[in-house]
């Protein structure tokens, strides 16, 4: 017996009082009938007209946009970007909020996630409850910092440059992205057409003049001759294997952080904010306080950023093991740290490689997992190694909170936590939590 399809509510409008912020760049509201709404482009305390963008009758919640602001918050500003707003570019979540308000909203999300998933108050997490701006990012109300050193542009069927709309494959044409770093803007990607191309990723290295574009052709599409406003290396994503291949120029960019130069190849992972790498290294090292002769792990180590910083501090009698699943990142990490014979980089998944090493005890651990977190099994293994301190670097507060609860079950408690606004005007936030065995001091 077939059931009747549920009626779509897309386009329906509700007048609602906006409640607290939630994880994901929206706020919570309820209709008069008690239906939960996730409302984008709103702020807590506002009264708005919310239009449904996704959802059907009987759904647990409806996704909506605030299309009319009846009672604005004192924290509301006019969005500086003309491409921000309901139905437009989905790259920024908080263009309509003053800078200080954005950081308070992120702090509220972290607080809620720690409470709900880890059972911790800010005081118990040893966190002062603030989200710190990156150096140089304090801008006047109504402006946004130009911080994004890596931008992936979407190209429409006519070859015009744009960015994806929220939760959509649709493209919002743009002629300038306000949060793109100057090194990205100077390439002039938005000023030209890109026929037969699906995406253009632009990379502007920090600390060098290296510029790179990574082109993804449409199926059967041919690469154009790339002539941009500044010298640039060109890579392409291969249609068959998805691998990245050099067209001309260097297959890597050179980044600068922690008093070293880092080779990052084939569009590999590097922090997007130009100050992020140094901010995070400082927070991790201050929290861990490495000593000469320490044995340390750098897990999900990328191109070796934390491994290099650890190696400088543990000295010649110390040792650092890095583990990374990306083969190209491992090659880069080994190149970047080739002058440090006390560092070893292994290729593979942490949960598979670490048990094979035979390591049974370490002094320090840096844990910088992907957005999903490390997980219960990996946490249990790390706890068994008896590290006196663990630095957990998290780009998702929910994953951090889940893993911190697992660590608590293994006898580790927060010693200190800091949060950084390394993704201004988006809902993303970076946290560094230092854990140590419960009851142990420095």
What is the rounded distance in angstroms from the CA atom of residue 108 to the CA atom of residue 273? 22
Dig out the tokens for 276 from the structure. Answer: 């992020």
Q: Which of 345, 307, 440 is nearest to 386 (CA)?
A: 440
Asked whether 164 and 171 are in contact (CB, 8 A), the reply is yes
CB 45 within 8 A of CB 18: yes
Measure the CA–CA gap between 100 and 73, rounded to whole angstroms.
13
414 and 114 in contact (C-beta within 8 Å)? no
Work out the number of other CB atoms within 10 angstroms of the CB of residue 193: 12
CA torsion, ordered 310, 313, 316, 317, to nearest 10 deg: -90
Tell which residue, 389, 435, 380, has the closest CA to residue 410: 380
The distance from CA 227 to its chain's CA centroid, rounded to whole angstroms, is 30
Cα–Cα distances in angstroms (integers) from residue 212 to residues 121, 236, 361, in the given order? 44, 11, 42
Annotated catalytic residue 395: yes
Question: Given 27, 301, 395, 431, which residue is catalytic?
Answer: 395
Which are the catalytic amino acids? 395
């Amino acid at each position: 017996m077939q059931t009747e399809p549920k009626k779509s509510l897309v386009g329906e409008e509700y007048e609602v009082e906006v409640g607290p912020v939630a994880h994901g760049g929206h706020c919570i509201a309820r209709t008069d009938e008690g239906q939960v709404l996730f409302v984008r482009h709103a702020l807590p305390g506002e009264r708005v007209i919310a239009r449904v963008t996704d959802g059907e009758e009987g759904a647990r919640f409806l996704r909506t946009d605030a299309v009319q602001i009846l009672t604005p918050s004192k924290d509301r500003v006019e969005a500086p970007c003309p491409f921000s707003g309901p139905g437009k570019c989905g790259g920024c979540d908080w263009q309509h909020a003053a800078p200080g308000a954005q950081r308070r909203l992120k702090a509220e999300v972290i607080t809620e996630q720690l409470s709900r998933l880890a059972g911790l108050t800010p005081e118990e997490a040893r966190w002062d409850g603030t989200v710190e701006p990156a150096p140089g990012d304090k801008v006047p109300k109504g402006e946004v910092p130009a911080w994004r050193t890596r931008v992936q542009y979407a190209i429409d069927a006519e070859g015009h440059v744009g960015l994806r709309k929220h939760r959509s494959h649709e493209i919002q044409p743009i002629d300038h992205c306000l949060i793109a770093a100057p090194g990205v803007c100077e390439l002039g990607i938005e000023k030209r057409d890109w026929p037969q191309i699906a995406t253009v990723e632009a990379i502007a290295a920090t600390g060098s003049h290296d510029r790179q574009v990574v082109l993804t052709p449409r199926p059967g599409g041919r690469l154009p001759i790339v002539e941009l406003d500044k010298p640039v290396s060109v890579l392409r994503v291969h249609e068959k294997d998805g691998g990245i291949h050099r067209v001309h120029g260097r297959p890597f960019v050179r980044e600068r952080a922690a008093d070293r130069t880092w080779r990052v190849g084939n569009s590999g992972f590097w922090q997007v904010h130009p100050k992020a790498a140094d901010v995070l290294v400082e927070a991790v090292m201050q929290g861990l306080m490495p000593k000469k002769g320490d044995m340390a792990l750098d897990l999900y180590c990328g191109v070796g950023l934390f491994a290099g910083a650890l190696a400088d501090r543990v000295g010649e009698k110390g040792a650092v093991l890095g583990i990374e699943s990306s083969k190209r990142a491992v090659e880069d990490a080994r190149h970047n740290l080739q002058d440090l014979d006390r560092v070893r980089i292994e290729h593979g998944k942490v949960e598979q490689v670490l048990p094979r090493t035979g390591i049974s005890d370490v002094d320090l651990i840096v844990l910088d997992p992907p957005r999903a977190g490390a997980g219960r099994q990996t946490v249990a293994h790390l706890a068994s190694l008896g590290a006196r301190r663990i630095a957990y670097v998290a780009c998702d507060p929910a994953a951090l909170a889940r893993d911190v609860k697992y660590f608590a079950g293994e006898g580790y408690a927060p010693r200190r936590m800091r949060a950084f606004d390394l993704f201004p005007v988006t809902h993303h936030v970076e946290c560094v939590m230092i854990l140590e065995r419960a009851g142990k001091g420095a």
